[in-house]
Amino acid sequence: MSNQNNKINNYSIADDLINLIIFLAVAIIIGYLINNLVYSILIFLSIFIIYILYSNYIFERWVLNYKNNKSIKYHRKHQYLVSVLNKSFEEFVTIKLKFNVLEKRFKELSASMPDAVVVVDNNFVTEWFNDAAIKMLSLKDVDIGRPILHLIRNPNFTKFINSKERDAHVNFTSPLKYDVTIKSFLVPYGEDRYLLTFRDVSESDHLDNMRRDFVANVSHELKTPLTVIFGYLETISLSDNKNVDQSILDQMLKQAKRMDIMISDLLKLTKLQTTNIPEKNFSPINLKNLVNELMLACKQKSNKNKNNIKILTNDDIYIRGSYEEIYSAFLNLLLNAIMYSGKGVTIEINYFVTHSKETIFSIKDYGVGVPLDSINRLTERFYRVDKGRSREQGGTGLGLSIVKHIMNRHEGKLEVESIIGEGSNFSCVFPKSLLAMRSSKSTSDV
């Protein structure tokens, strides 16, 4: 209660009320003395109003001239307000000093960064950029307030920004130099802002191209002599030449065949990485029919391995894509499940459309599974969990790398879940844009 009173006493109205009472008392006394109460009260109230207006005017002057207000006297009744204002100002000055130090450090840091940094709002309008952005992207001060897509004109960059994919990156050719490749990252920042970083990756891009060209050239050059050797070996093997040890010849044929498959896979991978699917190769694919073909193709192997293959759906779902590539990706996953999950293992094939209209095709097995630390490495070239077993099965270690690239070319992704001893689930996720049609008892056409 006393606290409440203290607070009330702090307001200028308390002073004003006391003064009003004093003024009225004096007015009444003098009114009686001069025998004109109304006249006296009117005069004293007018003086009181002038006094209030004047003290407020003085206080207003004091506030408006806050920075050099030393000479201006304010009325005692505003003492509390003045002390609150003084305290807030001191706090403001301390915060401003801290902010200035932080801003200076941030500017020094961003200036020394080799990467260009641009802050944009949620409409991708430029708010701030560092010195590197001036050099790398030729941005100028007047560009602040302009949409970033007006400042960086490149089809890949535009597609990337419009894709609304966050925490993602894109490579594009510099708008200033055609031989400079820029990698840009988009990271959400604060509540409604994005941080765009731009890095010159020309060197690593160049090395990457050289590596890809080297693999492609070597594979290409090896293919012809190997075909010749393979041909001769087959001829010798088929002839009745008793001078040659048949087991040695069989080994040579087996290894030559392995090399041939490996070279074909490397060439396939290079092609997948360096080209786009021609539009004419895109056609509607009925997943139901595709599954039937997969079953036929691996019938012999699955019978031999005593697998129980279940197809969990009968829906007619059509996706758009390259039939040849998608067939090869799915067959690879199914053959892997047969070859690597173990003898007599149950395998489930399923495909369905999610709520967000993505199409998922999955091959699930209840076999040996993949160790946790290997799951992320499965799509690396030549990565094999069990090298001996993979070689024995004729695997090149390139299969899942090929599947990953096929999925990338369809703007989809390969997802792998696996628990050691329980089994693995390989899912191909196709974007909404590739869903052509679906019709089943439970679902309607799209």
Question: Which spans of this chain sit near ligand ADP (rule: CB under 6 A)?
Answer: 332, 336-337, 340-341, 365, 367-368, 370, 378, 383-386, 390, 395-401, 424
The distance of closest approach from Cβ of residue 229 to ligand ADP in the complex, given in angstroms and rounded to an integer, is: 23
List Cβ neighbours of 262 (8 Å cut-off, separation of 6 or more). 396, 398
**Based on CB atoms, which residue is closest to ligand ADP, 40 or 270?**
270
The distance of closest approach from Cβ of residue 207 to ligand ADP in the complex, given in angstroms and rounded to an integer, is: 24
Among residues 269, 373, 286, the alpha carbon closest in space to that of 329 is found at 269
Tokens coding 411 = 């703007």
Backbone angle region of 190, left / alpha / beta, with phi > 0 → left and psi within -120 to 50 → alpha: left
User: Would the CA dihedral through 167, 171, 172, 177 be positive or negative?
Assistant: positive
Give the burial string for 410-434 (b: 16+ CB within 10 Å, else e).
bebebebebeeeebbbbbbbbeeeb
Residue keyed to tokens 């191209």: 209
The distance of closest approach from Cβ of residue 375 to ligand ADP in the complex, given in angstroms and rounded to an integer, is: 9
Q: Is 149 helix (H, G, I), strand (E, B) or coil?
A: helix
The distance of closest approach from Cβ of residue 346 to ligand ADP in the complex, given in angstroms and rounded to an integer, is: 12
The distance of closest approach from Cβ of residue 369 to ligand ADP in the complex, given in angstroms and rounded to an integer, is: 6
**Based on CB atoms, which residue is closest to ligand ADP, 12 or 401?**
401
The distance of closest approach from Cβ of residue 312 to ligand ADP in the complex, given in angstroms and rounded to an integer, is: 17
**Based on CB atoms, which residue is closest to ligand ADP, 370 or 435?**
370
**Based on CB atoms, which residue is closest to ligand ADP, 321 or 395?**
395
What letter represents residue 292's amino acid?
N
Beginning with the edge strand found earlier in the chain, give each strand of the sheet holding 116-121 in spatial order. 126-129, 116-121, 193-200, 181-189, 168-173
The H-or-E segment that residue 362 falls in is strand 359-365
Tokens coding 374 = 């290997």
What letter represents residue 279's amino acid?
E
**Based on CB atoms, which residue is closest to ligand ADP, 110 or 396?**
396
Backbone angle region of 323, left / alpha / beta, with phi > 0 → left and psi within -120 to 50 → alpha: alpha
Q: Which residue's Cβ has the minimum distance to ligand ADP?
A: 395
Tokens coding 213 = 């060209």
β-bridge partners, 121: 193
**Based on CB atoms, which residue is closest to ligand ADP, 307 or 359?**
307
β-bridge partners, 126: 120
List Cβ neighbours of 152 (8 Å cut-off, separation of 6 or more). 137, 175
**Based on CB atoms, which residue is closest to ligand ADP, 172 or 330?**
330
The distance of closest approach from Cβ of residue 344 to ligand ADP in the complex, given in angstroms and rounded to an integer, is: 14
The distance of closest approach from Cβ of residue 421 to ligand ADP in the complex, given in angstroms and rounded to an integer, is: 11
CA 151, 159, 446, 280: dihedral to nearest 10 degrees?
130
**Based on CB atoms, which residue is closest to ligand ADP, 321 or 367?**
367
**Based on CB atoms, which residue is closest to ligand ADP, 174 or 379?**
379
Rounded Cα distance between 148 and 439, Å, is: 43
**Based on CB atoms, which residue is closest to ligand ADP, 12 or 341?**
341
The distance of closest approach from Cβ of residue 333 to ligand ADP in the complex, given in angstroms and rounded to an integer, is: 7
Contact 169, 185 (CB under 8 A): yes
**Based on CB atoms, which residue is closest to ligand ADP, 16 or 417?**
417
The H-or-E segment that residue 189 falls in is strand 181-189
Contact 414, 407 (CB under 8 A): yes
The distance of closest approach from Cβ of residue 338 to ligand ADP in the complex, given in angstroms and rounded to an integer, is: 8
On the CB side of 136, CA atoms within 13 Å amount to 26
* End-to-end alpha carbon distance in the chain: 70
Angle in degrees, 0-180, between the axes of helices 12-33 and 2-10, rounded to the nearest 10: 70
**Based on CB atoms, which residue is closest to ligand ADP, 319 or 337?**
337
The distance of closest approach from Cβ of residue 385 to ligand ADP in the complex, given in angstroms and rounded to an integer, is: 3
The distance of closest approach from Cβ of residue 407 to ligand ADP in the complex, given in angstroms and rounded to an integer, is: 13
Triad 54, 55, 58: Cα angle to 5°: 85
Tokens coding 311 = 């197809």
